[in-house]
A and B are shown apart, each in its own frame.
Chain A
């Protein structure tokens, strides 16, 4: 008994130590500056000053408002997709699944560029409409407004809902629904009374993640919003850290942001636990062929939904891909079709300044794989800790584990610098530092995805297995892990995506031969070469698509 206790304690202790050392320690190192005054003593005066300044309260209010609205929109858009994913089967489902996860990987500059090139006043949509109806002015002035912000956020984030809710939906007990049906429940009532409560933990888990992402959103809000009217807390953190160079004020603001995020996360997590009920579940949830649904009255909304999804997701991405095949030349700067940007980024062809970024692709894949490798066990063990054990402040602890997403990457990067300055650990310029940073950022995702599914597993199943003679390892590998499979696949896909798309922390820790695709993209843009940057972006989309496809496939066959 004692041996078991030590072993399980170790399993929980190692991830805790890891997280504390590589996240909480650097974080407190930098945030300490936010709660000190001019003399260097503990003081909340700066924070109180900010909270009583209407300039900041207005910003905080807006940040909350847009995050909540974006979350709502993402959930609404994602739920039908989650249903289709979990409960139906159709040709090309796996392709659609991988496809909808791609936006998550794109650096925000390409998201913005894609959106503007398609939905903008001079974008594809408006120009097509103007040509079709011979209009003078662009008819759909969607951009540079709040709705543009919400739309872009939904584009980015609704795959989270699709995947996480989908993975929970695959584990529900279908007999409950059948029983309800036999008792006369139909349609909306059936969904509201039976379906919704069953997937609620998934909804709340994805809501927590989406909320935090939107809360921290930065470039999208500024450009697509149109101006400082739509300022968020993150903008002010950036301002203090990058322009005013007042790290203490930046830290104070980051603390305010982190506390608010924590509060919201705490609420989500608490509700997630409340809403979760264990079910005797089904591993082989029967999937309906989509063609069957299409022939019924549900067919039209499904088709409309799919068209809408493809439009909103594909259009900006295709705009980016399209830009990668364009070159400008001649006095009037007319555009023409070309493959040369791909030649440039892959082979270094053309011009004395050309530089091949093949290495960047390999590096990105490497970091992605390592991030998955590290964050899956880390996140899963935290998931076990929070679901299976009970201790005081458990929800608070779980919220703290989500913090990597709720803290500006700039702040974290500065934290690493401050904390590991005189530490024997050489952080800067080593590949494992980047893997570390990516792992920390990916872990909250893994935890959310896995706990959403884990809470549905009835502990009686575990007890039954133990009764029948399974030892803890067998229990874990043969029973629990397979049950968690959909949650883990989702976690793996997103961990990979997060790593592939991460740029801020990576930039702080990189060295020349460690550059990744997003860094290459930003460098090309900095050198005025938007087309080549879009070419890299297209390659990024391609590699992530392939990776998601493989992860999904692997997941289905391994367990």
Chain B
């Protein structure tokens, strides 16, 4: 029996060597990109756009998944003295001030920037170049809810008691987006709004994953997600059951961008990549892999995006203001919602 044990041990060591025969980290120089995990995922943009870039520009790319957008920035800040990455993916309009203050970005104004509408260029100093955008929205189950809410104010109506799932702004990007949304609409009176809203909340989850998971499991008919969520269901399930809501006060805007790292090793390659992300070649892959809108208005959207409504009013708070006030807002919010 000891032989059996030893032979299993040997077998597993042999298996390990076959796994090691897999392609090792490239020794040759390549453009190094840090991105959030869903960007790098097999289902995300990376597997489609990286080959396109490599072919068009003849530059090899190595992309690393670093967790989420906050982690990307964290890591770049930690590596500030000896930057390992050339490009950072995922700096959005909420993280902008933090990123610029950290002094780790190299501004670059791409010659292709005029392709993008003015209002989407959220960084006038060109440290960060936008590549996609989206709107937070409440998505509802049309099979369970016949009279959906039409505004933020409407959400506080008692008929929605225990019917709303949202995410925590302290741990989730949509959660933060919603908090900022209420501040954009109500200003410093946002806490009064939350006081009315809280009884209607079923639960506040740690992230979008769980929120959407329990929403689609029928726990509650309303969830905080994106305007593009219905497009997924149309595309993959051919169902229009789940619909997104445009509120009369407007929806909160999120613009995502990429940036070049200051002091990186391949500045000219990085610049080529920033040019690339504004072209249709890159932009056309965004809708069905990142479930966001491409910033380049010439990009054709898939049919399923007809079911992703566009808000008339887009709201956002300035990045500086967010950086200054966020701690206070979060603390006050937690105090209120914990009662």
Contact = CB atoms under 8 A, between A and B. Distances in A.
A228 B169 CA distance: 10
Interface string A336-353: 000000000000000001
Contact of B19 (A123, A239, A332, A431): A431
A-B pairs, top 3 by smallest CB distance, nearest first, are A333-B241, A527-B43, A239-B170
B213 A122 contact: no
B143 A558 contact: no
Contacts of B330: 239, 244
Given A122-B218, A226-B203, A235-B168, A525 B213 contact: yes
A421 interface: yes
A229 B338 CA distance: 4
B25 A558 contact: no
B74 A241 contact: yes
Contacts of A331: 239-241
A363 interface: yes
Interface in B34-82: 37-38, 40-44, 64-68, 70-71, 73-75, 77-79, 82
17 contacts: A109-B213, A121-B220, A144-B202, A219-B205, A222-B171, A224-B203, A231-B338, A243-B169, A243-B171, A243-B173, A243-B326, A421-B82, A431-B20, A511-B25, A511-B64, A527-B43, A558-B1
A523 B169 contact: no
Nearest to A523: B41
Contact of A245 (B4, B8, B73): B73
Interface of B: 1-2, 4-5, 8-9, 12, 15-16, 19-20, 22-23, 25, 37-38, 40-44, 64-68, 70-71, 73-75, 77-79, 82, 95, 98, 143, 162, 168-171, 173, 176, 201-207, 209-210, 212-214, 216-220, 229, 232-233, 236-242, 288, 291, 326-327, 330-331, 333-335, 337-339
A422 B79 CA distance: 10
Contacts of A247: 74, 77-78
A362 B19 CA distance: 9
Interface string A199-242: 00000000000000000001100111111110100011011011
B218 A507 contact: no
Nearest to B242: A333
B281 to A, nearest CB: 18
B65 A507 contact: yes
Given A247-B74, A366-B15, A508 B170 contact: no
Interface string A72-111: 0000000000000000000000000000000000000100
A366 B95 contact: no
A429 B82 CA distance: 18
A238 B43 CA distance: 26
B288 to A, nearest CB: 8
Interface string A104-132: 00000100110011001111000000000
B155 to A, nearest CB: 16
Nearest to B205: A223
Given A418-B78, A421-B78, A228 B214 contact: no
B335 A55 contact: yes
B207 A219 contact: yes
A429 to B, nearest CB: 5
B239 A528 contact: no
Contacts, number: 220
Nearest to A507: B67
B302 to A, nearest CB: 12
Q: How large is the interface on A (under 10, 10 to 19, 20 to 34, 35 or more residues)?
A: 35 or more
A28 to B, nearest CB: 15
A522 B37 contact: yes
A247 to B, nearest CB: 7
Contacts of A121: 162, 202, 219-220
A273 B239 CA distance: 61
Contact of A144 (B8, B203, B236, B242): B203
Given A226-B201, A353-B288, A510-B65, 17 more contacts: A112-B210, A112-B213, A121-B202, A122-B218, A144-B203, A223-B214, A235-B170, A244-B326, A244-B327, A245-B77, A323-B217, A330-B238, A355-B43, A366-B16, A429-B25, A511-B64, A523-B37
A239 B237 contact: no
A526 B217 contact: no
Nearest to B218: A122
Among A228, A238, A355, A525, the one with the most B-chain Cβ atoms within 10 Å of its Cβ is: A228
A227 B238 contact: no
B170 A238 contact: yes
Contacts of B201: 226-227
Among A121, A323, A513, A526, the one with the most B-chain Cβ atoms within 10 Å of its Cβ is: A526
Nearest to A550: B8
B5 A329 contact: no
Contacts of A144: 202-203
A258 to B, nearest CB: 20
Contacts of B143: 332-333
A505 to B, nearest CB: 11
A370 B229 CA distance: 40
A353 B67 CA distance: 22
A422 B78 CA distance: 12
A414 interface: yes
B1 A557 contact: yes
A120 B241 CA distance: 21
Given A113-B210, A523-B37, A557-B1, A242 B68 contact: yes
Given A227-B201, A362-B19, A327 B237 contact: yes
A387 interface: no
Contacts of B2: 558
Given A242-B171, A329-B237, A508 B67 contact: yes
